[in-house]
């Protein structure tokens, strides 16, 4: 018998009001009286229909149902080979009953809503049989519960249990496609849907969708062809082509003709069913980008008496604010908003009409990852916050997140300190915070299981309410609940570091009012100075510390200019609330922790003669004679230049620019008097250091067949996956490596046979992952020879101190400390800056000296580059290639398709 963690019992089931429990507090007496009248007082009647909450105040917990909890082992194995506990690509046994059993755990986290992956009947295995539809996005019947998850009654019971707790239910839905029941491969011809059409009619549990009209998928039948339920197209080849995006298949999934009135009606009927029969409170629309916004509008608002739009269906059940938000995978580069505007096009239509209530905030996710996981300048997040508020009609209804089922876990490339900061940002900014299951338990694997028998669990359950991250998130949710300005207010970015990790601050205020909360971060791995922060508050305003990642901060008072200057501990996060704006004029008010005496004078930094420099330079200034000073570059308190004022009050310091490698970045200098806690005004400058080419190594064409003889006999030749996305493109064939240095900074330019963007990757390339191993000179640590997760050891005596892993959606840097065959090591920030030149088939990684230990130069360093591919982990290797797995080898052999020579830097 499979054991699952015990959960506290559900509330008494004597009548609807008793079942409502916390719902009285959540929805109010009048609302629950309406629910009681709608459902009666039957002891076994689930409380399905309740009024909508204020969605701005919600906190949503997102689960992949199959991976969460197994409440009914009898439904696990449906006999098609689809169930294989412990195997990542198969069903693991999680179900709807398991979710209901663990609602106390979810609610204890501070969640007010549960979002589940699609519960509908799915294609259980893809045509090749190597991957299962456990995730729910390969529908074969939109109106039935998948047998692995339970029954309609199980789903109704879950809904009722949520509503009884004052919680809401969010269902993931798919409008764009069904499962993969046919394909064209490379034989498609426009205008002739029969040519090259190939049925996948051997898949389990059905050869084609079982629900009309979606069962009409064979264009060889004139009647089905005339019905036009599908677009009958191949995979998208160019995601920048709107026609392909809206009409072609995404990853082989059969694209529905959502402009067809028959299809539209069937989709409205299908999903209206879940609102009426289960009491779903909100929908998340998968792959919204791949259908026109007009089709989404019809789905929501159609005035069809037989199949009305789902908003009308929801209103008839008492849900006046039925939330609908969509998914559009688009991440903007710093300073850009092309993808954000595309996302907004599904919230506000071309004529200004409303479409969906919100969209998942992928651009904000990208900035959170860049700043808190990879150590990008904190200004990247500051800029994104400002763009979100300026561009989007309803930023408060845009669900925000730090990771989910389609991207790497935050901790796969970031550390716990960064994750805590990113979560605090979610809970102190507009948008509905979404916590992906397992984040609160420190998960690193994208779709690992919460229960002992499932894949990635390590043989134990993870429902630990004392886990540090669980307690952190619960405290953040309480903070947001107690201070509604955090969920309903407007942020104003007050400070951000444009050059590197460091201070970041914003205030939150009700619309049109003065600031009510101050939120501050130090994103750097060292102490930083937040100097001359203009709070926008009156002189003398008192701020009360209400939350800190490592303890409540001391109270503050702004100075006579409305400013605050604070030294900040590394990787910290703090929140204050405004409690008094009259302290400066009140003689009896207590002294502020950062109040400043009127004299002596603050240090002065002379203006630089030239704001553009090419190397190291001197600066000068004045201070009280004998004053010991710290010259801070970009606010960095850990690496100051120490100086002191001479008897004439003059001082001088030399600035080392070895770590400043980007001529487009504006850096700042400030002079800090630590004794008096006073600082000079900031001075901006830029550095344009020359890069020197130190190695240019060609790699043979066509040698992308495995790791070669250096790894032993009998290995390979390896073969690419069978999916046509690889084929003749040979994206893993490394052709050239160029190495440039600038002092202790490193730039690597990799050229491959082909750069593809078939899956619209965030980083600008896909179907290949690069893993770079760097041995640094003069290190106290011996380094490692193990190749984490790649089943190999380094050749020719190489030992790595830094390891860079990057694919289309990740870019992570690790030190060798703690690295093993199964552990990637210790996260290092800042990570590499990444640039792609698709026309030249090149990817360039730039690592500043700070990422490599701040060496003066890299003479004697060694570099080795390998290729493979990655999808939540390095792709599998077996004797025979699969659709998404390599062939020609055995599990446990090195996952290296091609590699460079080992390059030693002069």
- Terminal-residue alpha carbon distance, the chain: 63
Cα–Cα dist 493/385, whole Å: 8
Instruction: Determine the average pLDDT of the residues in 720-736.
Output: 94
Residue 121, helix vs strand vs coil: strand
Q: What was the pLDDT predicted at 8?
A: 33
Q: What was the pLDDT predicted at 712?
A: 64
Please check the confidence at residue 17 and state whether its pLDDT lies above 60: no
Residues paired with 283 in a beta bridge = 171, 324
Instruction: Determine the average pLDDT of the residues in 723-727.
Output: 88
pLDDT in tens, 612-641: 998 899 999 999 999 999 999 999 999 999
Please check the confidence at residue 446 and state whether its pLDDT lies above 90: yes
Question: Do 636 and 686 touch, CB atoms closer than 8 A?
Answer: no
Count other C-beta atoms under 10 Å from residue 646's C-beta. Answer: 12
Please check the confidence at residue 76 and state whether its pLDDT lies above 90: yes
Instruction: Determine the average pLDDT of the residues in 319-344.
Output: 96
Residues paired with 696 in a beta bridge = 738
Cα–Cα dist 897/396, whole Å: 46
Q: What was the pLDDT predicted at 185?
A: 79
pLDDT in tens, 561-598: 999 999 999 999 999 999 987 654 443 444 344 444 44
Q: What was the pLDDT predicted at 264?
A: 98
Residue 450 confidence class, pLDDT cut points 50, 70, 90: very high
Q: What was the pLDDT predicted at 637?
A: 97
Residue 604, helix vs strand vs coil: strand
Q: In Å, how far are 54, 480, 752, 762, 830 from 803, measured between CA atoms?
A: 46, 38, 20, 21, 13
44 CB-contact burial (10 Å; exposed 0-12 / middle 13-18 / buried 19+): exposed
pLDDT in tens, 236-295: 988 889 999 999 999 899 999 999 999 999 999 999 999 999 999 999 999 999 999 999
- Lowest mean per-residue pLDDT among 37-51, 149-163, 871-885: 37-51
pLDDT in tens, 867-877: 999 998 999 99
More confident of the two residues 186 and 276? 276
pLDDT in tens, 87-131: 999 999 999 999 999 999 999 999 999 999 999 999 999 998 989
Q: What was the pLDDT predicted at 597?
A: 42
Cα–Cα dist 390/384, whole Å: 10
Please check the confidence at residue 365 and state whether its pLDDT lies above 50: yes
Dihedral of the CA atoms 547, 552, 553, 554 (nearest 10)?
Answer: 130
pLDDT in tens, 510-530: 988 888 999 999 999 999 999
Q: What was the pLDDT predicted at 815?
A: 97
pLDDT in tens, 881-903: 998 999 999 999 999 999 999 99
Residues paired with 802 in a beta bridge = 774, 815
Cα–Cα dist 288/482, whole Å: 34
Residue 14 confidence class, pLDDT cut points 50, 70, 90: very low
Residues paired with 125 in a beta bridge = 132
Please check the confidence at residue 157 and state whether its pLDDT lies above 90: yes
Residue 600 confidence class, pLDDT cut points 50, 70, 90: low
């Amino acid at each position: 018998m499979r054991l699952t963690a015990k959960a506290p019992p559900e509330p008494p089931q004597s009548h609807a009001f008793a079942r409502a429990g916390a719902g009285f507090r959540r929805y109010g007496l009048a609302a629950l009286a309406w629910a009681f009248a709608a459902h009666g007082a039957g002891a076994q009647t689930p409380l399905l229909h309740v009024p909508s909450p204020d969605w701005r105040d919600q906190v949503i917990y997102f689960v992949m149902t199959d991976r969460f909890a197994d409440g009914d082992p009898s439904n696990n194995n449906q006999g098609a080979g689809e169930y294989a506990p412990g195997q990542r690509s198969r069903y693991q046994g999680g179900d709807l009953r398991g979710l209901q059993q663990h609602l106390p755990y979810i609610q204890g986290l501070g969640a007010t809503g549960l979002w589940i992956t699609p519960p509908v009947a799915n294609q259980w295995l893809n045509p090749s049989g190597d991957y299962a539809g456990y995730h729910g996005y390969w529908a074969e019947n939109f109106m039935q519960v998948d047998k692995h998850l339970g029954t309609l009654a199980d789903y109704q019971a879950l809904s009722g249990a949520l509503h009884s707790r004052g919680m809401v239910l969010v269902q993931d839905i798919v409008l764009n496609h069904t499962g993969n029941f046919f394909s064209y491969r490379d034989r498609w011809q426009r205008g002739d849907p029969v040519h090259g059409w190939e049925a996948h009619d051997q898949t389990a549990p059905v050869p084609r969708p079982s629900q009309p009209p979606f069962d009409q998928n064979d264009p060889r039948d004139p009647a089905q062809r005339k019905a036009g339920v599908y677009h009958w197209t191949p995979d998208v080849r160019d995601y920048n082509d709107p026609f392909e995006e809206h009409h072609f298949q995404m990853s082989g999934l059969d694209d529905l003709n959502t402009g067809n009135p028959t299809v539209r009606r069937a989709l409205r009927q299908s999903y209206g069913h879940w609102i009426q029969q289960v009491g779903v409170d909100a929908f998340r629309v998968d792959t919204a980008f791949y259908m026109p916004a007009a089709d989404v509008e019809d789905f929501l608002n159609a005035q069809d008496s037989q199949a009305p739009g789902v908003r009308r269906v929801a209103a008839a059940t008492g849900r006046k604010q039925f939330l609908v938000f969509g998914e559009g995978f688009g991440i903007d580069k710093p300073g850009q908003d092309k993808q954000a505007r595309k996302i907004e096009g599904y919230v506000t239509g071309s004529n200004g009409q409303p479409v969906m209530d919100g969209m998942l905030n992928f651009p904000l996710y990208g900035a959170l990852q860049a700043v808190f996981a990879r150590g990008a300048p904190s200004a990247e997040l500051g800029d994104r916050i400002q763009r979100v508020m300026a561009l989007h009609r309803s930023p408060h209804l845009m669900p925000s997140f730090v990771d989910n089922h389609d991207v790497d876990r935050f901790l796969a490339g970031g550390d716990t300190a960064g994750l805590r900061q990113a979560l605090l940002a979610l809970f102190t900014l507009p948008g509905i915070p979404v916590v992906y299951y397992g984040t609160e338990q420190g998960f690193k694997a994208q779709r690992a299981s919460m229960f002992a028998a499932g894949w990635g669990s390590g043989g134990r359950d993870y429902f630990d309410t004392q886990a540090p991250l669980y307690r952190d998130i619960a405290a953040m949710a309480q903070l947001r609940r107690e201070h509604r300005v955090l969920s309903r207010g407007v942020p104003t970015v007050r400070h951000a570091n444009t050059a590197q990790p460091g201070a970041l601050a914003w205030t939150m205020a009700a619309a049109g009012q003065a600031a009510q909360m101050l939120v501050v971060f130090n994103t750097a791995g060292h102490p930083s100075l937040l100097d001359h922060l203009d709070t926008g508050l009156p002189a003398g305003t008192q701020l009360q510390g209400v939350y800190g990642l490592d303890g409540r901060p001391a109270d503050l008072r702004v100075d006579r200019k409305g400013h605050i200057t604070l030294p900040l501990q590394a990787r910290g996060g703090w929140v204050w609330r405004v409690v008094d704006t009259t302290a400066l004029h009140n003689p009896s008010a207590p002294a502020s922790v950062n109040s400043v005496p009127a004299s002596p004078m603050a240090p002065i930094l002379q203006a630089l003669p030239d704001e553009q420099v090419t190397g190291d330079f001197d600066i000068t200034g004045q201070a009280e004679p004998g004053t010991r000073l710290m010259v801070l570059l970009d606010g960095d308190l850990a690496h100051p230049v120490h100086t002191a004022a001479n008897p004439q009050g003059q001082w001088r310091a030399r600035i080392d620019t070895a770590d400043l490698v980007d001529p487009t970045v504006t850096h700042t200098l400030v002079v800090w008097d630590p004794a008096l806690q006073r600082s000079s005004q900031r001075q901006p400058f830029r550095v344009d250091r020359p890069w020197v080419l130190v190695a240019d190594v060609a790699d043979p064409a066509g040698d992308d067949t495995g790791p070669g003889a250096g790894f032993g006999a009998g290995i390979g030749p390896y073969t690419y996956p069978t999916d046509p996305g690889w084929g003749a493109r040979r994206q893993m064939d490394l052709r050239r490596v160029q190495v440039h240095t600038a002092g202790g900074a490193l730039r690597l330019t990799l050229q491959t046979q082909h750069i593809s963007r078939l899956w619209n990757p965030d980083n600008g390339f896909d179907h290949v992952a690069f893993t770079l191993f760097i041995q640094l000179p003069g290190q106290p640590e011996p380094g490692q020879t193990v190749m984490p997760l790649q089943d190999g050891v380094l050749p020719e005596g190489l030992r790595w101190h830094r390891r860079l892993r990057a694919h289309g959606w990740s870019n992570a840097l690790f030190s060798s400390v703690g690295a093993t065959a199964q552990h990637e090591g210790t996260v290092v920030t800042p990570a590499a800056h990444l640039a792609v030149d698709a026309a030249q088939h090149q990817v360039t990684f730039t690592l500043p000296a700070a990422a490599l230990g701040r060496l003066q130069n890299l003479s004697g360093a060694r570099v080795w580059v390998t290729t493979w591919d990655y999808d939540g982990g390095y792709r599998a290797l077996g004797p025979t290639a699969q659709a998404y797995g390599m062939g020609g080898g055995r599990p446990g052999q090195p996952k290296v398709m091609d590699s460079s020579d080992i390059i030693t830097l002069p």
